[in-house]
Amino acid sequence: MLVALLAYLIDRIFGEFPIKHPVVWMGEYIAWFERRFWRDSVFVGALLALSLILIVICLSWLFVCGVGFLPHFAEVAVTAVVSSVLIAANMLYASVKNALTAEDKRAALGMLVSRDTAALDESDIHKALIETYAENLNDAVIAPLFYLSLLGLPGIAAYKAINTLDSMVGYRTDRYEKFGKFSARLDDIAGFIPARITALLIALG
């Protein structure tokens, strides 16, 4: 819980660090696997998901083992800094705020959502921003913090892998209906509890 709190504060204060984001590495692995092994098969899609999750859990576990030799305060601090990279509270807030204050709000909104924004009026734009903020609040902030608190660095890393898989292959299209089914269902399961926590926090807010 202390690591999660510190990670959240670090992200809110400093935002994104100028490094190649771990999610980018995950995305590159997914793209490579798809190019090399794609089949119209639930089984092959499951192999993609499980292999990526296993890789990120092993790497994060090795990191945890490595920093375990540090003094406790240093271990907590280093783990919090690394974990903060997998939280996007600062970036999400800034993105929505910039869209609200942009000169061309429709174009700015179009960078955040997949819908056609050309015909939206002011009220529709605000509704869409609230919806995308709420959805991404779960995916980018609450769920990562939930799994970080529950399972440590391997937990948040595994969740980000699942969420990245869903965002890249979890679509109901001819190409991904079977190949991405396992990833999409896994994301539904992983997000079930955090999404309800997010909804409760939004209601209280």
pLDDT tens digits, one per residue of 45-99 = 999 999 999 999 999 999 999 999 999 999 999 999 999 999 999 999 988 888 8
Q: Tokens 């819980």, residue?
A: 1
**How far is the CA of 37 from the CAs of 40, 134, 179, 197, in angstroms?**
10, 35, 10, 37
Residues in the chain: 205
Confidence of residue 195 (pLDDT cuts 50, 70, 90): very high
- % of the chain residues with pLDDT over 70: 100
Is the pLDDT reported for residue 161 higher than 80? Answer: yes
Q: How confident is the model at residue 102 (pLDDT cuts 50, 70, 90)?
A: confident
Distance between CA 205 and CA 194 in Å, rounded? 16
- Residue 1 vs residue 109, higher pLDDT: 1
pLDDT in tens, 111-147: 777 677 777 888 888 888 888 888 889 999 999 999 9
| Separation CA 103–CA 53 (nearest Å) | 41
pLDDT at 100: 84
Instruction: Output the average pLDDT for the chain.
Output: 92
- Residue 105, pLDDT score: 81
Structure tokens at 179: 């190949």
Instruction: State the pTM of this model.
Output: 0.90
| CA–CA gap between residue 127 and residue 195 (Å, rounded) | 19
Alpha helices in 111-180 (DSSP H): 122-137, 143-169
Confidence of residue 107 (pLDDT cuts 50, 70, 90): confident
- The pLDDT of residue 154 is 97
Nearest C-alpha neighbor of 95 from the set 168, 20, 15, 4: 15
